Structure 1
Amino acid sequence: MKITVVGLGYIGLPTAILFAKYGNAVTGVDLSPVMTENLNAGRIHIEETGLTEDLQDALALGNFRASTTPVSADAYIIAVPTPNKDDLYKSCDTAYIESALMSILPHLKKNDTIIVESTIAPRTMSDVVQPLIENEGFRVGENIYLAHCPERVLPGNIMHELVHNPRIIGGITEKCTEKAAAVYGAFVEGEIIKAQAGEAELSKLMENTYRDVNIALANELAKISNHLGIDALRVIEMANKHPRVNLHQPGPGVGGHCLAVDPYFVIAAAPEQSPLMQTAREVNNSMPAHVVSQVEALMAEQDGNRVTLFGLTYKGNIDDIRESPAMEIKEMLIESGFDVKVFDPHVASEILTGEESCEDSSLIVVLSDHSEFRDIPTSYTDKMRESILFDTKNTVQTVGAGVTYYNYGNLHQANAKQTVSI
């Protein structure tokens, strides 16, 4: 089968490489000539376990090539970004999807299959994508087959989960669903869930909205517990002993191109019916400012004004800084007059070592749960002006003697000037 994948980002590239690995002739399309040149040379631009090796295998087999323009295929997969619009409810911007679709329309022929993997607002397939195709004289469900097949993978484990996770196939018609299911049958070993397009669209959005709402509850609990002088993390641990309770963990905010974006697509589609989702977004969006206010309190009596941030990514052990609350916290601290240093071993633009970033600093703020941050060496903290650490991700397991350690469980003790250790 010949497959053209448009968009070679965090989802499109792994998807394209997997199709190639399983014996299909794949052309991956991206607008960046530098990126496509690097891919054809076996070099990738994102951090993902196993991806480089699989790309090199696909190149060796002759099953993958990257290009800046689409080519004719049997199936077309669109995996381009869908950012928020700058409007009242931050609705879904389909401009990239429309552009990708227009680029493949000249290559379409009867009986081809078009699959949109990009996360989209409800009714995008029927109201936006289908009309663009039928304007070219095709009939969706009769001589062109159209489906929405959202990804549901964990960064850092994408190559495994694309194969083994259940896959939702949402066709415009039943025949569209069957055709798209046959495409993914090339490598998906997980359950194939056949659905209507609108069901698939809303299902993906609700998976991420559920988590966003749960995290908002945990973040609100952290604020409440800090105000009342109660250990929020202990409260969550005990509450989760209940067999039907699963509170998430509080943090510095919500980031990434899913949880921080997708709920708005639902909110924009039904604003009067979504007050809970809107409140959850407000709570999670408030967390960077909350973290900054806690940093200001911890630094109020320090002689220096240097703060060290550990991590800029929105989650641990990846290089993705999209919508990361850590980036917002960094900018807010700089605007507040702090001398900010950053240590992130997963972000190429950050070149300081742990020792260099901590030198003459009065406070470390952990914002990403990288495995490198579980044990903080004394070579870092010995260089500090004051040895204080605020762990917003509850990821640190050991620190050196004499380090004052705070997380959302004991942050309230900072007001009492109590030194605690782990």
Structure 2
Amino acid sequence: MKACFMGLGYIGLPTAIIAAKHGIQVTGVDINPKVVEMTNQGQLHIIEPGMQELLQEVVSAKQLKASTTPEISDAYFMVVPTPFKGNHEPDISYVESATRAVIPLLKEGDLYVIESTSPVGTTDKMVHLIFSLRPELEGKIFIAYCPERVLPGNVIHELVHNDRVIGGIDEASTDKAIKFYSQFVQGTLHRTNCKTAEMCKLTENSSRDVQIAFANELSLICDKAGINVWELISLANKHPRVNILQPGCGVGGHCIAVDPYFITADFPIESQIISKAREINNYKSFWCAEKVENAMLKFELEHHRKPVVAMMGLAFKPDIDDLREAPAKYITTKVMQSCNNADILVVEPNVTEHKVFKLTDYKEAYKQADIVVFLVAHSVFKALPYDDTKVILDFCGIYKK
């Protein structure tokens, strides 16, 4: 069987590798020639534990090849970004472009699946697009929606072991998609329709966003009340039916920080809690930046010089290199814009270089800094000794003080 994966990003590439590892002949498509070149050389362009060896294995075995254009296959998977535009309006143009690219290749019996997180109704829109351009295929191909639900840093394991929700445009499409995924997914494959599958993905991430917003709101309250929020949450979680998440400097990534807008854009009146959670999590980043700016001003007044400030972490979560929608990146930018020529050291141990920020080694930055701002709970940061001669702003619970 041949499969074509449109998009070789943080989800598309791992999924393509796992499919290839299970005997499927895979073509991975990406518009970035560098990504294609690196993939064909067996080199990862992202950080993901355990994936480098698997990529080399499937490329060497000629089970996976990358290209900038799709090839005739038996199954096509749309695994491209779905960002938002303007006032947080969903942008499905990448899904549409990828779909248009494979439409000329579709033939009777083929499977077409959208994995990209999408607003409710996206699959129906692509169905209309496909059949308007290829009316002879109506009723002769299989179309489904199957969202990914993996955690960066543990993608390989979760692609195989997590349950999946699969929603076809009809029962036959659901059956066809389940047959494909059952080749490598050991978790349960749950049947539904495409709209419910789309909404399921948005619901999962919106639920997480609401839960994180509660933790972040607690951190704001505790700061004002003079209470250690980390201790508070630890004690509250001793209750058998309470499970409060950990607060941070906001919410980032291309899922939790984005997907709730796909609901609020289409259902603005009905999604009050979801909308408010987005506001709280966005405000937490602004609040953190203000805390840093105030600490810098206080230091300058007390020491009659500008401080050296270490901004520790840019990724949206610990121990990954993904900076998409990262609140740490926003906070660092805001602090740099208002720093009034203070020395700002930017640290991200999982990235070798950045087009905007000049990066500093984390140990060197910690050593030089007067003010240390922990934005991301990277494992390497937790090994740094607590230094009470420095001003430490711990927004992610490195020391939980």
TM-score range, shorter chain: over 0.9
- Answer whether contact 1:105 1:133 (CA < 8 A) is retained: yes
User: What is the alpha-carbon root mean square deviation over aligned residues?
Assistant: 1.6
The separation in 2 between residues aligned to 1:137 and 1:355, in whole angstroms, is 59
Name the SS for the 2:133 alignment partner: coil
Offset of residue 237 of structure 1: 1.5
Offset of residue 225 of structure 1: 1.3
The separation in 2 between residues aligned to 1:52 and 1:186, in whole angstroms, is 22
For residues 199-348 of structure 1, what are the structure 2 equivalents within 5 Å?
199-302=196-299, 303=303, 304-337=306-339, 338-348=342-352
The separation in 1 between residues aligned to 2:392 and 2:89, in whole angstroms, is 38
Offset of residue 360 of structure 1: 4.0
- Answer whether contact 1:141 1:175 (CA < 8 A) is retained: no
Offset of residue 136 of structure 1: 2.4
> What are the superposed Cα offsets for residues 336-389 of structure 1, whole Å, 9 maximum, x if unpaired?
1243101221012164223432354211111111110112148xx69xxx5122
| Equivalent residue in structure 1 for 2:361, among 353, 359, 368 | 353
Can you give the 5+ residue segments of structure 1 that lack an aligned partner in the other structure?
397-406, 411-422
Aligned residue pairs, count = 390
Matched residue, 1:393 = 396
Is 1:157 aligned to residue 161 of structure 2? no
The separation in 2 between residues aligned to 1:393 and 1:190, in whole angstroms, is 32
> What are the superposed Cα offsets for residues 318-353 of structure 1, whole Å, 9 maximum, x if unpaired?
000000001000111011124310122101216422
Name the SS for the 1:300 alignment partner: helix
Is 1:374 aligned to residue 401 of structure 2? no
Between stretches 145-154 and 342-351, larger displacement belongs to: 342-351
The separation in 2 between residues aligned to 1:161 and 1:80, in whole angstroms, is 19
Offset of residue 139 of structure 1: 7.0
The separation in 2 between residues aligned to 1:54 and 1:254, in whole angstroms, is 31
Name the SS for the 1:290 alignment partner: helix
- Answer whether contact 1:209 1:262 (CA < 8 A) is retained: yes
The separation in 1 between residues aligned to 2:136 and 2:220, in whole angstroms, is 54
> What are the superposed Cα offsets for residues 264-319 of structure 1, whole Å, 9 maximum, x if unpaired?
00111100101111111000001111112222333333233321011110101100
The separation in 2 between residues aligned to 1:28 and 1:213, in whole angstroms, is 35
The separation in 2 between residues aligned to 1:295 and 1:331, in whole angstroms, is 12
Name the SS for the 1:364 alignment partner: strand
Letter in 1 for 2:375: L
Name the SS for the 2:89 alignment partner: coil
Normalised to the residue count of structure 2, the TM-score between the two structures is 0.94
Name the SS for the 1:150 alignment partner: coil
> What are the superposed Cα offsets for residues 127-148 of structure 1, whole Å, 9 maximum, x if unpaired?
x111011112347772111111
> What are the superposed Cα offsets for residues 96-134 of structure 1, whole Å, 9 maximum, x if unpaired?
0000000001100011000000000111111x1110111
Letter in 2 for 1:331: T
Structure-2 change in CA distance of 1:112 and 1:245 (3 Å): same
- Answer whether contact 2:108 2:137 (CA < 8 A) is retained: no
Structure-2 change in CA distance of 1:140 and 1:164 (3 Å): farther
- Answer whether contact 1:141 1:172 (CA < 8 A) is retained: no
> What are the superposed Cα offsets for residues 134-177 of structure 1, whole Å, 9 maximum, x if unpaired?
11234777211111100000100000100000011111111110
Structure-2 change in CA distance of 1:104 and 1:298 (3 Å): same
Offset of residue 262 of structure 1: 0.2
Matched residue, 2:131 = 134
| Equivalent residue in structure 2 for 1:93, among 67, 88, 91 | 91
Name the SS for the 1:203 alignment partner: helix
Letter in 2 for 1:120: S
Offset of residue 395 of structure 1: 2.4
